[in-house]
Amino acid sequence: MEVRLLAGGFDQLRRAESLAAGVLIVFVVGACGTLPNGRGWGQDAIYPFDAGRIGRAAYAAATDPQTWIPLAAGAAINPLDHRVSDWARAHTPLFGSQSNAEHVDTTVLHPLQYEWIATALATPSGDNPEDWIYAKAKGMAVEWSTQVANGNATVFLKREIGRERPNQSDDRSMPSSGASDAFNYTTLSNTNLDDIPALPSVVRVPIQVGNILTASAVGWSRVEAGDHYPSDVLAGAALGHFVTSFICKAFMGLPEGAPMLSFAPSKKGATVGFSFAW
Share of the chain above pLDDT 90, in %: 72
The predicted structure's pLDDT at residue 1: 41
Cβ distance 159 to 172 under 8 Å? yes
pLDDT tens for each residue of 105-117: 888 888 999 999 9
The predicted structure's pLDDT at residue 278: 31
Please state the length of the chain.
Answer: 278
The predicted structure's pLDDT at residue 71: 96
In terms of Cβ atoms closer than 10 Å to its own Cβ (0-12, 13-18, 19+), residue 230 is buried
Mean pLDDT of 72-91: 96
Confidence of residue 16 (pLDDT cuts 50, 70, 90): low
Mean pLDDT of 224-248: 98
CA angle in degrees (0–180, nearest 5) for 13-14-20? 85
Please list, in sequence order, all residues whose beta carbon lies within 8 angstroms of the beta carbon of residue 245, skipping any fewer than 6 positions away: 57, 60, 61, 64, 66, 67, 187, 191
For residue 184, CA distances in Å to 131, 260, 275 come to 27, 19, 25
Interatomic CA distance for residues 48 and 189, integer angstroms? 24
Q: Flag whether pLDDT at 48 surpasses 50.
A: yes
The predicted structure's pLDDT at residue 274: 43
pLDDT tens for each residue of 145-166: 999 999 999 999 999 999 999 9
For residue 266, CA distances in Å to 14, 69, 271, 272 come to 41, 17, 6, 10
Which DSSP helix (H) or strand (E) runs through 111?
A: helix 104-122
Which of the two residues, 250 and 24, has the higher pLDDT score? Answer: 250
The predicted structure's pLDDT at residue 5: 43
Which of 30-44, 143-157, 242-256 bottoms out in mean pLDDT, i.e. has the lowest? 30-44
What's the chain's average pLDDT?
Answer: 86
Q: Flag whether pLDDT at 93 surpasses 70.
A: yes
The predicted structure's pLDDT at residue 259: 47
pLDDT tens for each residue of 266-277: 555 555 544 443
Query: Looking at this protein, which amino acid is placed at residue 48?
Result: P
For residue 29, CA distances in Å to 127, 129, 204 come to 12, 12, 18
Confidence of residue 33 (pLDDT cuts 50, 70, 90): confident
Residue 257 DSSP symbol: -
Mean pLDDT of 70-99: 95
- In sign, the C-alpha dihedral spanning 215, 238, 62, 263 is positive
The predicted structure's pLDDT at residue 247: 98
Interatomic CA distance for residues 103 and 99, integer angstroms? 7
Please list, in sequence order, all residues whose beta carbon lies within 8 angstroms of the beta carbon of residue 31, skipping any fewer than 6 positions away: 121, 122, 123, 124, 125, 132, 196
The predicted structure's pLDDT at residue 72: 97
Cβ distance 239 to 160 under 8 Å? no
